Structure 1
């Protein structure tokens, strides 16, 4: 028996999106030709390495891929809770191990040629063949086969209700296989098409690539052959690399740009009514980690110490630092995601003191390690760490701050040698399965020295959530996992930073999406 899933009610989530600083772009919004009245100008700090979707897995790269390439699955607006048909609709079996996708009739690539099943199979198998490609892991355990010209069968090794959400990732955009193969594209790992795709696009999106300068700006033109439902109101888009948020702010106020993507909460507070601001919680969670390995943490390898810290924190005070759009993290699954808890922890110093005594704490100084040069969602870690330090000292817990550059601190975090750390986590695709790595024995759990044997009950809850095939049971399983992690886990979720998208008053549709930042085709003149 099969069930139809044109708009399946599955997991909530978002994409982990990390900003990478580049060189500031110039202020010539309309350089390179074109009618300025038809140009959309966007400022952002570039986080992009290529225009090839098969090699791209960065914020700016995702935004670009969304404009140039369409995916089998899509999301509507900023809502990433419910995948909807993109290039195809789908059905799945009851075990969530077979997904049959049927392409929409009549859709074409930018050269006018039809989109066929062979293009889907080639595009996705190309990524599977490129083991070094960043999006490669998205299709692990997935077999992709052509049934006929319009039909593709996906088979998974284990239940995978999150597959439609995964297939909405812009990195899995569908390429014109004939064109890409002619220019070095293969599925066996010998692919050399990236250079071609950095100069020309081969997709079916509302835009085509004009020029790509990874240090300065990217220019797109409206595709003449596009026949989907997201035709752009602008004939030209210029995306400029402006690394300083203060410069983005000045450009927006001065009318030199129409959309600024990287303003923090304090900056958007200075904007008047003539500027539109979309402030929402991001998909990233900032949290504290308490290592459970005695080799690392000694006598303090105890989840009761995490409980003591959890109830010593004044979360409202931390949100004051985070600014517009930020919310308290209610657990390891952020608010509004499938299985997220309705409310977070409230400060309770009596409960903190009781847990501290049970942990065997007798005044040892905890060294709090964190990256000091990598803000997340506009949140600087140093002032956040200082506020955490003050609050914990008020609760009788001695804390020494130990900041280091991101590149240095990342090694100790990934290798599990931090006793007490301040870090962040964001999902790789729009599904709550991305937060299961916090479980004992899994990726983030092991970074905290938390092996599966340390808490078999929570490990089993994570496995239940991963293997669920019924949507209601799946939600219940994720909720149970989130509750158990808040009660007995070695992590202290703190805040979910906000994202602030600011646009000129005569522009509409510039809203944040946790998978692809913004959809360029949805932005239009307000008139």
Structure 2
């Protein structure tokens, strides 16, 4: 055994031993293929991190078990004018350290998400000003009418102004630069759980917050979250009873987990869309054999890549049927999706070769592809299959697959030519993906913050602004359809599929699976 493998085995073994030793009737042990990269809720707009952090931190509004909006730190909200929303804040709420929650914390948080290093700027794109009216009332003024502002704010977790100032955490950690601060490792939220212990990459231990203002329906007193990257080790830990919950279950192991006497798989559709992005900004494509120009600036090259990908083959062989191929950047369950538009360009190798010839690349070219191998379902295998598909049209892919801990900082710096990403619209509305993924990048407003290949169509941006301000639902959906068609015609990104959720769960555990892949600990019950 080489030293690296030995070290990984020892790390996983130590984590499983700790889990086994901590087992009790009201301890829930959860394993995931990756870790939350930070406890700072504004440092990375990634659903696993936001899911984990949401157990300690809360937003003004949230989502119930049916994904319907409900009050959290705000008890009510209303528009007092086309561009002003007023929020009445919950009284009697305390942060974990005992500091009262007030309007000052909301004003501070809305400024923090727009600070340097924040990965949440796209949530404040349309905000002009956040004003304190009194200790338990705030107003948010937007630059134009914003009918879905409460939905947008559901991902903006409120932090204590006093605690952040005292702990040198006024600004979020910057994942692009590897900068850390106290908020990276400690929590001080208003949520139902608090982090007692944090060992990045090893385990994070949550305990109930005795100051929590709301009801905790489950009985978990302690939750131990452990990253176990190796799928076989993760499954074995579930089957042996060393852990109680795991996700994702490898598609090839679903039948095995269901056949085991003490475990089951909870499966369902996920709102996340997996897609490929390409650098369309640089005049010369880096990490490529092409010199002096950028082939991805040519729509014919982008379409050639699209038509060379055998998406049904990926569904059958890589995903074992647990995916839904898509032509859109959103799927069913997101407002703005229509079945009529969700028709992919046909898989056609001959047509793809012809497009490359027309674009001036008859022999193809070489380019590096960046991919995570521990973030999405079978992400590494997907990228391997895409590389094999593209080889059929003369494109040589140098695949760089790595853990998300190093992957995300790299692509967030736009230090990539070709990459894989997944996106779940947190508002369950198409405007979210239009603004964050398809908008021309604007560092000042935060629009296009996750458009990492810098696709840009100013007409689509104009339409996105109109969609954000339109209150007539029929007109709004018609504009969304028009915007999506622009993106389809431009081949702005290469949509692949919506993956299916598969959680492995002990039969002693009851929990709620949400289509956004969040896992609230307050709804978990474990039987002796």
Provide the TM-score with structure 1 as the length reference.
0.76
C-alpha RMSD over aligned residues: 4.2
Cα pair distance change 1:375/1:115, threshold 3 Å: closer
Q: How does 1:286-325 map to 2 (within 5 A)?
A: 286-287=275-276, 289=278, 291=280, 296=285, 301-311=297-307, 313-320=309-316, 321-323=318-320, 325=322
Cα pair distance change 1:216/1:449, threshold 3 Å: closer
- Offset of residue 377 of structure 1: 1.5
State the match for 1:423 in structure 2: 420
- Offset of residue 382 of structure 1: 5.4
State the match for 1:333 in structure 2: 330
> Which one of 14, 19, 42 corresponds to residue 29 of structure 1?
19
State the match for 1:277 in structure 2: 266
State the match for 1:165 in structure 2: 151
State the match for 1:47 in structure 2: 35
State the match for 1:9 in structure 2: none
Partner SS state of residue 68, structure 1: coil
- Offset of residue 519 of structure 1: 0.7
- Offset of residue 251 of structure 1: 0.9
Alignment partners' CA distance in 1, 2:107 and 2:411? 39
Partner SS state of residue 154, structure 2: coil
CA offsets 1:375-403 (integer angstroms, 9 cap, x no match): 5412244564445644783xxx3332322
1:131 aligns with 2:116: yes
Alignment partners' CA distance in 1, 2:101 and 2:118? 24
CA offsets 1:340-364 (integer angstroms, 9 cap, x no match): 2423316364994797399456733
- Offset of residue 295 of structure 1: 5.1
Alignment partners' CA distance in 1, 2:182 and 2:503? 32
Moved more, 256-265 or 214-223: 214-223
Moved more, 381-390 or 242-251: 381-390
> Which one of 236, 240, 253 corresponds to residue 239 of structure 2?
253
Alignment partners' CA distance in 1, 2:185 and 2:44? 11
Any stretches of 5+ residues in structure 1 without a counterpart?
A: 1-21
State the match for 2:136 in structure 1: 150
State the match for 1:522 in structure 2: 523
Alignment partners' CA distance in 2, 1:345 and 1:182? 50
State the match for 1:195 in structure 2: 182
Alignment partners' CA distance in 2, 1:187 and 1:56? 16
CA offsets 1:470-490 (integer angstroms, 9 cap, x no match): 444333222221122223334
Indicate conservation of the 8 Å contact 1:279/1:501, yes or no: no
Indicate conservation of the 8 Å contact 2:59/2:158, yes or no: yes
Indicate conservation of the 8 Å contact 1:315/1:494, yes or no: yes
Alignment partners' CA distance in 1, 2:39 and 2:282? 42
Partner SS state of residue 522, structure 2: helix
State the match for 2:445 in structure 1: none
Partner SS state of residue 27, structure 1: helix
Cα pair distance change 1:195/1:513, threshold 3 Å: farther
State the match for 2:433 in structure 1: 435
Cα pair distance change 1:74/1:444, threshold 3 Å: closer
- Offset of residue 111 of structure 1: 6.3
Indicate conservation of the 8 Å contact 1:66/1:205, yes or no: yes
Moved more, 264-273 or 342-351: 342-351
Indicate conservation of the 8 Å contact 2:391/2:397, yes or no: no
Any stretches of 5+ residues in structure 2 without a counterpart?
A: 1-9, 174-178, 286-292, 442-447
Alignment partners' CA distance in 2, 1:236 and 1:48? 18
- Offset of residue 100 of structure 1: 0.8
State the match for 1:90 in structure 2: 77
> Which one of 52, 65, 78 corresponds to residue 53 of structure 2?
65
Alignment partners' CA distance in 2, 1:460 and 1:125? 25
Indicate conservation of the 8 Å contact 1:277/1:501, yes or no: yes
Indicate conservation of the 8 Å contact 1:367/1:399, yes or no: yes
Q: How does 1:338-487 map to 2 (within 5 A)?
A: 338-342=335-339, 343-345=342-344, 347=346, 349=348, 352=351, 356=355, 359=358, 363-367=362-366, 369-371=368-370, 374-381=373-380, 384-386=383-385, 389-390=388-389, 393=392, 397-405=393-401, 418=417, 421-426=418-423, 429-430=426-427, 431-436=429-434, 439=438, 441-442=440-441, 443=448, 451-452=456-457, 457-487=459-489
1:496 aligns with 2:481: no
Indicate conservation of the 8 Å contact 1:285/1:334, yes or no: no
Alignment partners' CA distance in 2, 1:262 and 1:353? 34
Provide the TM-score with structure 2 as the length reference.
0.76
